[in-house]
Amino acid sequence: MKSRLSGLVLALAISLCALPASTFVVAAEPAAATARTVLVIGATGRTGREVVVKSLEAGYRVRALVRDELRARASLGSEVTLIVGDVRTDEAIAKAVEGADFVISALGSNVRNDPSNTPELVDYGGIRRLAEKAAESKIRHFVLVSSMGATHRDHPLNRMYSNILTWKLKGEDALRVSGVPYTIVRPGGLTEARGGEFLPMMMQGDDLSRQGRIARADVAAIAVAALDRPEAMKKTFEVIASNATGQPDWATLFGSLNADAK
């Protein structure tokens, strides 16, 4: 028995070492062998990190597509499986999506840190590629964190950041036509508050007269709560924090929203 066990351990070690270091980083799996896998895009960003935390808390396996393996490991910890790649390439996205059940994207361009990280290439091009590969892989549900104001071409953010909201809207549209079950979350101003203090206020119509702020942690909680919920699918909504407190009734909140027009 000891000999057989030693052989199994050695075989496992050899198989793990055979994985390409540039593609996969092995992480600990959760105790539940039946846990489904969430691919988080933009996982090292401030909202993305909250999505990772909420996904792990909910019992999902978490996979992240990252460009910097060392930075991502330091930021995300050992429980997350890392796939090294870039949303601007089809090959990286195909590897990341393969075998996942769900996708949550908190992706956002940042030309100040990387001039090549433009809204056109990231907020639109990256999301379009993700949606296409998600459709091919039959992803069960794709939750996209976009932005309030996406439908307003004259929004000041468009003038400040290379038409970022216009490109985010194009990314939304690419997801809508992909055939993948989706939910699009458009938060208002994002804060670093701890979350859970106020109930979310969900709205539709992208009416900027009802602006507000919301904690990144609460946006992440909404994204994770939406996963695999029929009442959340094919819906786009804006969200800010309300003044009310308590535990959110997700079925009622998502169920109160209208589905997107076909």
Residue-wise pLDDT tens digits, 135-158: 999 999 999 999 999 999 999 999
The pLDDT > 70 percentage for the chain reads 87
The reply to whether 177 falls in a domain is yes
The reply to whether 112 falls in a domain is yes
The mean per-residue pLDDT over the stretch 57-80 comes to 97
Alpha-carbon distances, residue 122 vs 72, 168, 218, 233 (angstroms): 19, 9, 24, 24
The reply to whether 59 falls in a domain is yes
pLDDT at 45: 95
The reply to whether 103 falls in a domain is yes
pLDDT confidence band for 133 (50 / 70 / 90)? very high
The reply to whether 5 falls in a domain is no
The reply to whether 156 falls in a domain is yes
pLDDT at 42: 97
pLDDT confidence band for 113 (50 / 70 / 90)? confident
The reply to whether 186 falls in a domain is yes
pTM: 0.87
The alpha-helical segments, DSSP class H, found in the chain are 2-17, 46-57, 69-76, 90-97, 127-136, 156-160, 164-176, 216-226, 250-255
Q: Among 30-44, 75-89, 123-137, 205-219, where is mean pLDDT lowest?
A: 30-44
Q: Give the CATH number for residue 134.
A: 3.40.50.720
Contacts of 50 (CB under 8 A, 6+ apart): 195, 216, 217, 219, 220
Q: Among 23-32, 175-184, 190-199, 239-248, where is mean pLDDT lowest?
A: 23-32
By residue range, what is the domain housing residue 69?
Answer: 33-255
Alpha-carbon distances, residue 64 vs 21, 24, 80, 81, 259 (angstroms): 15, 10, 7, 6, 29
The reply to whether 199 falls in a domain is yes
pLDDT at 29: 39
Residue 237 reports pLDDT greater than 70: yes
pLDDT at 33: 46
pLDDT tens for each residue of 25-46: 334 334 344 789 999 999 999 9
Domain count, the chain: 1
pLDDT at 86: 93
